[in-house]
Amino acid sequence: MTQTQNAARYREFKLPDVGEGLTEAEILKWYVQPGDTVTDGQVVCEVETAKAAVELPIPYDGVVHELRFEEGVTVDVGTSIIVVDVAPGTAAPAEPVAAPAPASVAEPAEDEAPKGRQPVLVGYGVAESSTKRRARKTDTSAPEKAAYSASVQAELNGTSTSVQAVEERTRPLAKPPVRKLAKDLGIDLATVTPTGANGVITREDVHAAAAPAAAPDVSRETVTEAPAAPAAPVDLAGTGASAPASREKVTPIKGVRKATAAAMVKSAFTAPHVTEFITLDVTRTMKLVAELKADPDKYGMAGLRINPLLLIAKALLVAIRRNPEVNATWDEENQVIVQKEYVNLGIAAATPRGLIVPNIKDAQAKTLPELASALADLVSVAREGKTSPAAMQGGTVTITNVGVFGVDTGTPILNPGESAILAVGAIKLQPWVHKGKVKARQVTTLALSFDHRVVDGELGSKVLADTAAVLEHPKRLITWA
Protein backbone atom coordinates (compact mmCIF):
# COMPACT_ATOMS: atom_id res chain seq x y z
CA MET A 1 0.00 0.00 0.00
CA THR A 2 1.49 3.38 -0.98
CA GLN A 3 1.98 6.26 1.42
CA THR A 4 -0.93 8.11 -0.22
CA GLN A 5 -3.22 5.09 0.15
CA ASN A 6 -2.10 4.70 3.75
CA ALA A 7 -2.92 8.34 4.54
CA ALA A 8 -6.31 8.01 2.87
CA ARG A 9 -7.18 4.94 4.91
CA TYR A 10 -6.05 6.23 8.30
CA ARG A 11 -7.51 9.59 9.27
CA GLU A 12 -6.04 11.57 12.13
CA PHE A 13 -8.36 13.68 14.27
CA LYS A 14 -6.57 16.72 15.68
CA LEU A 15 -7.56 18.54 18.85
CA PRO A 16 -9.67 21.51 17.71
CA ASP A 17 -9.89 24.94 19.28
CA VAL A 18 -13.08 24.33 21.28
CA GLY A 19 -13.02 27.82 22.76
CA GLU A 20 -11.99 31.24 21.60
CA GLY A 21 -8.22 31.27 21.26
CA LEU A 22 -7.54 28.39 23.65
CA THR A 23 -4.17 26.73 23.06
CA GLU A 24 -4.41 23.45 24.99
CA ALA A 25 -6.75 21.00 26.67
CA GLU A 26 -6.48 18.06 29.03
CA ILE A 27 -7.94 14.71 27.99
CA LEU A 28 -10.28 13.81 30.83
CA LYS A 29 -11.85 10.62 29.51
CA TRP A 30 -11.85 8.38 26.44
CA TYR A 31 -15.22 6.89 25.48
CA VAL A 32 -13.69 4.56 22.88
CA GLN A 33 -10.76 2.15 22.66
CA PRO A 34 -8.73 0.76 19.73
CA GLY A 35 -10.90 -1.66 17.77
CA ASP A 36 -14.19 0.12 18.55
CA THR A 37 -16.42 1.13 15.66
CA VAL A 38 -17.25 4.85 15.48
CA THR A 39 -19.64 6.87 13.36
CA ASP A 40 -19.56 10.45 12.15
CA GLY A 41 -20.64 12.74 15.01
CA GLN A 42 -20.08 10.18 17.78
CA VAL A 43 -18.50 11.58 20.96
CA VAL A 44 -15.14 9.89 21.47
CA CYS A 45 -13.63 11.82 24.37
CA GLU A 46 -14.09 14.57 26.93
CA VAL A 47 -11.47 17.28 27.29
CA GLU A 48 -11.07 20.10 29.78
CA THR A 49 -9.98 23.46 28.46
CA ALA A 50 -9.09 26.47 30.52
CA LYS A 51 -12.79 27.34 30.57
CA ALA A 52 -14.89 24.19 30.62
CA ALA A 53 -15.17 20.47 30.01
CA VAL A 54 -16.17 19.71 26.40
CA GLU A 55 -17.11 16.48 24.61
CA LEU A 56 -15.52 16.01 21.19
CA PRO A 57 -17.30 14.20 18.33
CA ILE A 58 -15.34 12.35 15.65
CA PRO A 59 -15.98 13.49 12.04
CA TYR A 60 -15.34 10.05 10.46
CA ASP A 61 -16.92 6.61 10.15
CA GLY A 62 -14.61 3.68 10.80
CA VAL A 63 -12.71 1.73 13.44
CA VAL A 64 -10.46 3.26 16.10
CA HIS A 65 -6.88 2.40 15.16
CA GLU A 66 -4.96 4.26 17.87
CA LEU A 67 -5.38 6.63 20.80
CA ARG A 68 -2.37 8.93 20.74
CA PHE A 69 -2.60 10.11 24.37
CA GLU A 70 -3.73 8.68 27.68
CA GLU A 71 -6.27 10.26 30.01
CA GLY A 72 -4.87 13.09 32.10
CA VAL A 73 -2.45 14.33 29.45
CA THR A 74 -2.54 17.98 28.35
CA VAL A 75 -2.38 18.33 24.57
CA ASP A 76 -1.78 21.39 22.39
CA VAL A 77 -4.49 22.45 19.96
CA GLY A 78 -3.79 21.04 16.50
CA THR A 79 -2.14 17.86 17.81
CA SER A 80 -3.42 14.49 16.54
CA ILE A 81 -5.16 12.67 19.40
CA ILE A 82 -6.86 9.70 17.70
CA VAL A 83 -6.41 7.72 14.47
CA VAL A 84 -9.40 6.13 12.72
CA ASP A 85 -9.28 3.40 10.08
CA VAL A 86 -11.89 4.61 7.60
CA ALA A 87 -11.50 1.54 5.37
CA PRO A 88 -11.38 -1.45 7.73
CA GLY A 89 -11.05 -4.91 6.25
CA THR A 90 -8.64 -3.93 3.47
CA ALA A 91 -5.05 -5.09 3.18
CA ALA A 92 -2.73 -3.97 5.94
CA PRO A 93 -0.41 -1.06 5.11
CA ALA A 94 3.26 -1.60 4.37
CA GLU A 95 4.27 0.92 7.01
CA PRO A 96 2.66 1.64 10.43
CA VAL A 97 0.75 4.87 10.79
CA ALA A 98 1.81 5.91 14.27
CA ALA A 99 5.57 6.19 13.81
CA PRO A 100 8.49 4.91 11.70
CA ALA A 101 10.10 1.60 12.67
CA PRO A 102 13.18 1.72 14.93
CA ALA A 103 16.48 2.32 13.19
CA SER A 104 17.84 -1.02 14.34
CA VAL A 105 15.16 -2.93 12.41
CA ALA A 106 15.85 -2.99 8.68
CA GLU A 107 13.39 -4.18 6.03
CA PRO A 108 14.57 -7.53 4.63
CA ALA A 109 14.89 -7.82 0.88
CA GLU A 110 12.71 -10.34 -0.96
CA ASP A 111 14.24 -13.84 -1.16
CA GLU A 112 14.18 -13.89 -4.94
CA ALA A 113 15.68 -10.43 -5.35
CA PRO A 114 19.15 -10.72 -7.05
CA LYS A 115 22.16 -9.12 -5.40
CA GLY A 116 24.35 -6.43 -6.92
CA ARG A 117 23.75 -4.10 -9.91
CA GLN A 118 21.31 -5.56 -12.42
CA PRO A 119 20.77 -4.54 -16.05
CA VAL A 120 17.62 -2.57 -16.86
CA LEU A 121 16.29 -1.08 -20.06
CA VAL A 122 18.95 1.63 -20.14
CA GLY A 123 22.25 1.19 -18.30
CA TYR A 124 22.30 -0.38 -14.84
CA GLY A 125 20.05 0.10 -11.87
CA VAL A 126 20.97 0.89 -8.31
CA ALA A 127 22.03 -1.82 -5.90
CA GLU A 128 19.03 -1.47 -3.56
CA SER A 129 15.28 -1.09 -4.10
CA SER A 130 13.53 2.23 -3.56
CA THR A 131 11.49 0.75 -0.73
CA LYS A 132 14.56 -0.20 1.24
CA ARG A 133 16.25 3.13 0.55
CA ARG A 134 13.20 5.09 1.69
CA ALA A 135 12.91 3.04 4.90
CA ARG A 136 16.59 3.56 5.68
CA LYS A 137 16.34 7.33 5.27
CA THR A 138 13.18 7.63 7.36
CA ASP A 139 14.14 5.16 10.08
CA THR A 140 17.60 6.50 10.87
CA SER A 141 17.20 10.26 10.79
CA ALA A 142 15.05 10.72 13.91
CA PRO A 143 17.09 8.45 16.25
CA GLU A 144 20.36 9.98 15.03
CA LYS A 145 19.08 13.47 15.72
CA ALA A 146 17.80 12.36 19.14
CA ALA A 147 21.15 10.77 19.99
CA TYR A 148 23.03 13.87 18.84
CA SER A 149 20.74 16.15 20.89
CA ALA A 150 21.17 13.95 23.94
CA SER A 151 24.94 14.05 23.46
CA VAL A 152 24.94 17.85 23.26
CA GLN A 153 22.68 18.10 26.32
CA ALA A 154 25.01 15.81 28.27
CA GLU A 155 27.95 18.05 27.34
CA LEU A 156 26.05 21.16 28.45
CA ASN A 157 25.22 19.48 31.74
CA GLY A 158 28.87 18.72 32.33
CA THR A 159 28.22 14.98 32.34
CA SER A 160 29.78 13.96 29.07
CA THR A 161 29.28 10.34 28.06
CA SER A 162 30.35 8.28 25.11
CA VAL A 163 28.34 8.38 21.90
CA GLN A 164 27.56 4.71 22.28
CA ALA A 165 26.08 5.26 25.75
CA VAL A 166 24.00 8.17 24.51
CA GLU A 167 22.59 6.11 21.66
CA GLU A 168 21.43 3.49 24.13
CA ARG A 169 18.90 5.85 25.69
CA THR A 170 16.32 8.26 24.35
CA ARG A 171 16.44 12.00 24.96
CA PRO A 172 14.76 12.88 28.28
CA LEU A 173 11.49 14.78 27.95
CA ALA A 174 11.60 18.23 29.55
CA LYS A 175 10.55 21.76 28.72
CA PRO A 176 13.24 24.35 27.91
CA PRO A 177 13.03 26.13 31.31
CA VAL A 178 13.48 22.78 33.06
CA ARG A 179 16.49 21.96 30.87
CA LYS A 180 18.03 25.32 31.76
CA LEU A 181 17.42 24.67 35.46
CA ALA A 182 19.10 21.28 35.18
CA LYS A 183 22.03 22.86 33.39
CA ASP A 184 22.40 25.54 36.07
CA LEU A 185 22.34 22.91 38.82
CA GLY A 186 24.68 20.58 36.96
CA ILE A 187 22.10 17.79 36.76
CA ASP A 188 22.07 15.24 33.92
CA LEU A 189 18.42 14.90 32.92
CA ALA A 190 19.07 11.28 31.94
CA THR A 191 19.63 10.50 35.61
CA VAL A 192 16.41 12.19 36.75
CA THR A 193 13.29 10.11 37.45
CA PRO A 194 10.33 11.82 35.72
CA THR A 195 7.00 12.19 37.54
CA GLY A 196 5.18 14.41 35.05
CA ALA A 197 2.51 13.29 32.60
CA ASN A 198 3.81 11.09 29.76
CA GLY A 199 7.23 10.82 31.40
CA VAL A 200 7.99 14.56 31.32
CA ILE A 201 10.61 15.79 33.78
CA THR A 202 9.36 18.66 35.95
CA ARG A 203 11.18 21.35 37.92
CA GLU A 204 10.41 19.44 41.10
CA ASP A 205 12.11 16.35 39.66
CA VAL A 206 15.27 18.36 38.96
CA HIS A 207 15.25 19.85 42.46
CA ALA A 208 14.72 16.39 43.90
CA ALA A 209 17.76 15.10 41.99
CA ALA A 210 19.83 17.99 43.29
CA ALA A 211 18.65 17.69 46.92
CA PRO A 212 20.69 14.59 47.90
CA ALA A 213 23.86 16.27 46.76
CA ALA A 214 23.07 19.41 48.77
CA ALA A 215 21.99 17.59 51.95
CA PRO A 216 22.87 13.90 51.90
CA ASP A 217 22.08 13.45 55.58
CA VAL A 218 18.44 14.56 55.33
CA SER A 219 15.91 11.96 54.21
CA ARG A 220 13.26 13.17 51.79
CA GLU A 221 9.82 11.64 51.88
CA THR A 222 7.67 11.83 48.79
CA VAL A 223 3.97 12.49 48.32
CA THR A 224 1.96 10.10 46.24
CA GLU A 225 -0.45 12.81 45.03
CA ALA A 226 2.25 14.93 43.37
CA PRO A 227 5.99 15.65 43.60
CA ALA A 228 6.70 17.98 46.50
CA ALA A 229 8.79 21.07 45.92
CA PRO A 230 12.13 20.92 47.75
CA ALA A 231 12.45 23.00 50.86
CA ALA A 232 15.10 23.52 53.46
CA PRO A 233 14.45 21.64 56.71
CA VAL A 234 12.53 23.77 59.19
CA ASP A 235 13.58 23.71 62.82
CA LEU A 236 10.44 23.35 64.90
CA ALA A 237 10.69 25.58 67.99
CA GLY A 238 14.45 25.11 68.12
CA THR A 239 14.16 21.41 68.91
CA GLY A 240 16.21 20.33 65.95
CA ALA A 241 13.29 18.41 64.47
CA SER A 242 12.46 19.11 60.83
CA ALA A 243 9.07 19.15 59.13
CA PRO A 244 8.76 16.17 56.77
CA ALA A 245 7.99 16.95 53.13
CA SER A 246 5.04 14.56 53.26
CA ARG A 247 3.06 17.19 55.18
CA GLU A 248 2.76 19.27 52.02
CA LYS A 249 0.47 18.60 49.10
CA VAL A 250 1.34 19.96 45.67
CA THR A 251 -1.47 20.50 43.16
CA PRO A 252 -0.66 21.22 39.51
CA ILE A 253 -2.09 24.52 38.25
CA LYS A 254 -4.05 23.76 35.12
CA GLY A 255 -7.46 23.88 33.47
CA VAL A 256 -10.09 26.12 35.01
CA ARG A 257 -7.90 26.99 38.00
CA LYS A 258 -5.13 28.20 35.71
CA ALA A 259 -7.52 30.30 33.62
CA THR A 260 -9.19 31.78 36.70
CA ALA A 261 -5.85 32.77 38.21
CA ALA A 262 -4.73 34.47 35.00
CA ALA A 263 -8.04 36.33 34.67
CA MET A 264 -8.01 37.54 38.28
CA VAL A 265 -4.42 38.78 38.07
CA LYS A 266 -5.14 40.57 34.82
CA SER A 267 -8.28 42.20 36.21
CA ALA A 268 -6.84 43.15 39.60
CA PHE A 269 -3.78 44.84 38.11
CA THR A 270 -5.49 46.39 35.08
CA ALA A 271 -8.82 47.83 36.25
CA PRO A 272 -8.75 50.20 39.25
CA HIS A 273 -11.24 48.57 41.61
CA VAL A 274 -13.55 50.45 43.96
CA THR A 275 -15.90 48.53 46.28
CA GLU A 276 -18.91 50.02 48.06
CA PHE A 277 -21.12 48.34 50.68
CA ILE A 278 -24.70 48.64 51.85
CA THR A 279 -26.54 46.75 54.61
CA LEU A 280 -30.28 46.44 54.13
CA ASP A 281 -33.48 44.89 55.41
CA VAL A 282 -34.69 42.21 52.98
CA THR A 283 -37.57 40.92 55.09
CA ARG A 284 -40.17 41.87 52.46
CA THR A 285 -38.15 40.14 49.74
CA MET A 286 -37.95 36.96 51.83
CA LYS A 287 -41.72 37.08 52.35
CA LEU A 288 -42.19 37.38 48.58
CA VAL A 289 -39.93 34.35 48.04
CA ALA A 290 -42.02 32.36 50.54
CA GLU A 291 -45.25 33.44 48.85
CA LEU A 292 -44.00 32.42 45.38
CA LYS A 293 -42.92 29.04 46.75
CA ALA A 294 -46.25 28.48 48.50
CA ASP A 295 -48.35 28.96 45.36
CA PRO A 296 -46.10 28.78 42.25
CA ASP A 297 -49.00 28.01 39.90
CA LYS A 298 -50.66 31.29 40.79
CA TYR A 299 -47.64 33.25 39.59
CA GLY A 300 -46.64 31.09 36.63
CA MET A 301 -43.64 29.66 38.49
CA ALA A 302 -44.67 26.00 38.58
CA GLY A 303 -41.70 23.64 38.41
CA LEU A 304 -39.19 26.48 38.78
CA ARG A 305 -36.65 26.98 41.53
CA ILE A 306 -37.44 30.08 43.57
CA ASN A 307 -34.80 31.54 45.88
CA PRO A 308 -33.49 34.93 47.03
CA LEU A 309 -30.82 34.98 44.30
CA LEU A 310 -33.56 35.11 41.67
CA LEU A 311 -35.03 38.32 43.10
CA ILE A 312 -31.57 39.80 43.71
CA ALA A 313 -30.73 39.21 40.05
CA LYS A 314 -33.98 40.88 39.01
CA ALA A 315 -33.29 43.81 41.32
CA LEU A 316 -29.83 44.31 39.80
CA LEU A 317 -31.31 44.23 36.29
CA VAL A 318 -33.78 46.95 37.30
CA ALA A 319 -30.90 49.04 38.70
CA ILE A 320 -28.95 48.63 35.46
CA ARG A 321 -31.98 49.72 33.47
CA ARG A 322 -32.15 52.89 35.57
CA ASN A 323 -28.35 53.41 35.27
CA PRO A 324 -27.36 51.94 31.88
CA GLU A 325 -23.90 53.55 31.88
CA VAL A 326 -22.68 50.90 34.34
CA ASN A 327 -23.23 48.19 31.72
CA ALA A 328 -20.11 49.09 29.76
CA THR A 329 -16.52 48.06 29.18
CA TRP A 330 -13.21 49.86 28.79
CA ASP A 331 -11.55 49.34 25.39
CA GLU A 332 -7.89 50.12 26.00
CA GLU A 333 -6.77 49.43 22.44
CA ASN A 334 -9.24 51.79 20.79
CA GLN A 335 -9.43 54.19 23.74
CA VAL A 336 -13.22 54.11 23.92
CA ILE A 337 -15.88 53.07 26.43
CA VAL A 338 -18.35 50.62 24.91
CA GLN A 339 -21.82 50.72 26.48
CA LYS A 340 -23.90 47.58 25.98
CA GLU A 341 -27.61 47.75 25.24
CA TYR A 342 -27.98 44.16 26.39
CA VAL A 343 -27.20 42.55 29.73
CA ASN A 344 -25.48 39.18 29.76
CA LEU A 345 -25.76 38.48 33.48
CA GLY A 346 -22.91 36.34 34.81
CA ILE A 347 -23.42 34.06 37.79
CA ALA A 348 -20.24 32.93 39.56
CA ALA A 349 -20.49 29.18 40.14
CA ALA A 350 -18.21 27.00 42.25
CA THR A 351 -17.61 23.65 40.53
CA PRO A 352 -15.36 20.68 41.34
CA ARG A 353 -12.95 21.98 38.69
CA GLY A 354 -12.88 25.54 40.00
CA LEU A 355 -14.73 28.83 39.70
CA ILE A 356 -16.50 29.58 36.42
CA VAL A 357 -18.79 32.45 35.40
CA PRO A 358 -21.37 31.44 32.78
CA ASN A 359 -23.86 34.12 31.85
CA ILE A 360 -27.54 34.44 30.98
CA LYS A 361 -27.81 36.04 27.55
CA ASP A 362 -30.14 39.06 27.22
CA ALA A 363 -31.20 38.76 30.84
CA GLN A 364 -32.75 42.24 30.75
CA ALA A 365 -35.50 41.00 28.41
CA LYS A 366 -36.57 38.01 30.51
CA THR A 367 -39.62 37.82 32.74
CA LEU A 368 -39.25 36.51 36.29
CA PRO A 369 -40.26 32.92 35.29
CA GLU A 370 -37.92 33.03 32.28
CA LEU A 371 -35.08 34.31 34.45
CA ALA A 372 -35.75 31.55 37.01
CA SER A 373 -35.62 28.89 34.30
CA ALA A 374 -32.40 30.27 32.80
CA LEU A 375 -30.79 30.54 36.23
CA ALA A 376 -31.68 26.94 37.13
CA ASP A 377 -30.32 25.62 33.83
CA LEU A 378 -27.10 27.61 34.20
CA VAL A 379 -26.41 26.32 37.72
CA SER A 380 -27.22 22.66 36.98
CA VAL A 381 -25.07 22.57 33.85
CA ALA A 382 -22.19 24.25 35.68
CA ARG A 383 -22.31 21.75 38.56
CA GLU A 384 -22.19 18.87 36.07
CA GLY A 385 -19.10 20.42 34.50
CA LYS A 386 -20.81 20.67 31.12
CA THR A 387 -20.76 24.45 30.67
CA SER A 388 -19.70 25.31 27.13
CA PRO A 389 -17.08 27.99 26.40
CA ALA A 390 -19.73 30.01 24.54
CA ALA A 391 -21.81 30.23 27.74
CA MET A 392 -18.91 32.02 29.44
CA GLN A 393 -18.26 34.54 26.69
CA GLY A 394 -19.66 38.04 26.40
CA GLY A 395 -20.67 38.69 30.02
CA THR A 396 -21.39 42.31 30.97
CA VAL A 397 -22.19 42.26 34.73
CA THR A 398 -21.73 39.49 37.31
CA ILE A 399 -23.28 38.37 40.61
CA THR A 400 -21.32 36.28 43.12
CA ASN A 401 -23.30 34.82 46.01
CA VAL A 402 -20.79 34.42 48.82
CA GLY A 403 -23.64 34.31 51.32
CA VAL A 404 -24.15 30.61 50.66
CA PHE A 405 -20.92 30.06 52.59
CA GLY A 406 -22.24 31.97 55.60
CA VAL A 407 -20.07 35.09 55.20
CA ASP A 408 -21.40 38.63 55.40
CA THR A 409 -19.89 39.91 52.14
CA GLY A 410 -16.62 40.32 50.26
CA THR A 411 -14.68 42.56 47.88
CA PRO A 412 -15.15 40.76 44.55
CA ILE A 413 -12.72 41.09 41.65
CA LEU A 414 -14.18 42.06 38.29
CA ASN A 415 -14.57 39.50 35.57
CA PRO A 416 -12.23 40.68 32.75
CA GLY A 417 -14.09 42.82 30.22
CA GLU A 418 -16.79 43.84 32.70
CA SER A 419 -17.17 46.97 34.79
CA ALA A 420 -19.29 45.81 37.74
CA ILE A 421 -19.76 42.78 39.98
CA LEU A 422 -22.20 42.44 42.89
CA ALA A 423 -21.37 40.30 45.93
CA VAL A 424 -24.33 39.04 47.99
CA GLY A 425 -23.77 38.24 51.66
CA ALA A 426 -25.60 35.85 53.94
CA ILE A 427 -29.16 36.75 54.93
CA LYS A 428 -29.40 36.65 58.72
CA LEU A 429 -31.97 37.43 61.38
CA GLN A 430 -30.65 40.55 63.14
CA PRO A 431 -31.98 43.36 65.34
CA TRP A 432 -33.14 46.21 63.10
CA VAL A 433 -34.99 49.48 63.69
CA HIS A 434 -38.30 49.05 61.88
CA LYS A 435 -41.04 51.67 62.18
CA GLY A 436 -39.37 53.18 65.23
CA LYS A 437 -38.95 49.91 67.10
CA VAL A 438 -36.12 47.39 67.31
CA LYS A 439 -37.29 44.15 65.77
CA ALA A 440 -35.77 40.96 64.43
CA ARG A 441 -35.51 41.41 60.65
CA GLN A 442 -33.90 39.57 57.75
CA VAL A 443 -30.73 41.56 56.96
CA THR A 444 -27.96 41.20 54.41
CA THR A 445 -25.00 43.18 53.04
CA LEU A 446 -24.32 43.85 49.38
CA ALA A 447 -20.94 44.85 47.94
CA LEU A 448 -20.49 46.35 44.48
CA SER A 449 -17.03 46.45 42.90
CA PHE A 450 -16.65 48.54 39.77
CA ASP A 451 -14.01 49.70 37.30
CA HIS A 452 -13.31 53.30 38.27
CA ARG A 453 -12.18 54.11 34.73
CA VAL A 454 -15.74 53.50 33.54
CA VAL A 455 -17.86 53.98 36.65
CA ASP A 456 -17.38 56.95 38.93
CA GLY A 457 -18.44 57.05 42.56
CA GLU A 458 -21.83 58.63 41.89
CA LEU A 459 -22.85 56.07 39.28
CA GLY A 460 -21.63 53.14 41.36
CA SER A 461 -23.51 54.41 44.41
CA LYS A 462 -26.73 54.83 42.44
CA VAL A 463 -26.56 51.26 41.11
CA LEU A 464 -25.95 49.82 44.57
CA ALA A 465 -28.60 52.01 46.22
CA ASP A 466 -31.23 51.16 43.57
CA THR A 467 -30.55 47.44 43.91
CA ALA A 468 -30.98 47.71 47.69
CA ALA A 469 -34.14 49.81 47.31
CA VAL A 470 -35.82 47.12 45.17
CA LEU A 471 -34.93 44.40 47.68
CA GLU A 472 -36.23 46.46 50.58
CA HIS A 473 -39.51 47.12 48.73
CA PRO A 474 -40.04 44.40 46.07
CA LYS A 475 -43.10 46.25 44.67
CA ARG A 476 -40.56 48.48 42.92
CA LEU A 477 -39.96 45.52 40.58
CA ILE A 478 -43.26 46.60 39.06
CA THR A 479 -43.12 50.38 39.38
CA TRP A 480 -39.46 50.82 38.34
CA ALA A 481 -39.42 48.11 35.68
**Could you give the residue numbers annotated as active site?**
452
Between 308-322 and 457-472, two packed helices, what is the crossing angle to 10 degrees? 140
Q: What is the DSSP string of 352-417?
A: TTEEE--EETTGGG--HHHHHHHHHHHHHHHHTT---GGGGSS--EEEEEGGGGT-S---PPPPTT
| Number of other CB atoms surrounding residue 252 within 10 Å | 15
Using CA atoms, how far apart are residues 260 and 55, in angstroms rounded to an integer? 21
- What is the b/e burial string over 85-104, where b = at least 16 CB atoms within 10 angstroms of the residue's CB? beeeeeeebebebeebeebe
∠ at Cα 435 (429, 436), nearest 5°? 100
∠ at Cα 423 (417, 429), nearest 5°? 170
Strands 43-48 and 173-174: what pairing? unpaired
First to last CA, the chain: 72
Using CA atoms, how far apart are residues 367 and 439, in angstroms rounded to an integer? 34
- Of the candidates 344, 364, 314, 345, the one whose C-alpha atom is nearest the C-alpha of residue 470 is 314
Q: Which residues pair with 84 in a beta bridge?
A: 11, 64
- What is the b/e burial string over 163-183, where b = at least 16 CB atoms within 10 angstroms of the residue's CB? eeebbeeebbebeeebbebbb
Q: What does residue 23 show for φ and ψ, rounded to 5 degrees?
A: -110, -10
Contact call for residues 204 and 230 (beta carbons, < 8 A): yes
Helix (H, G, I), strand (E, B) or coil at 89: coil
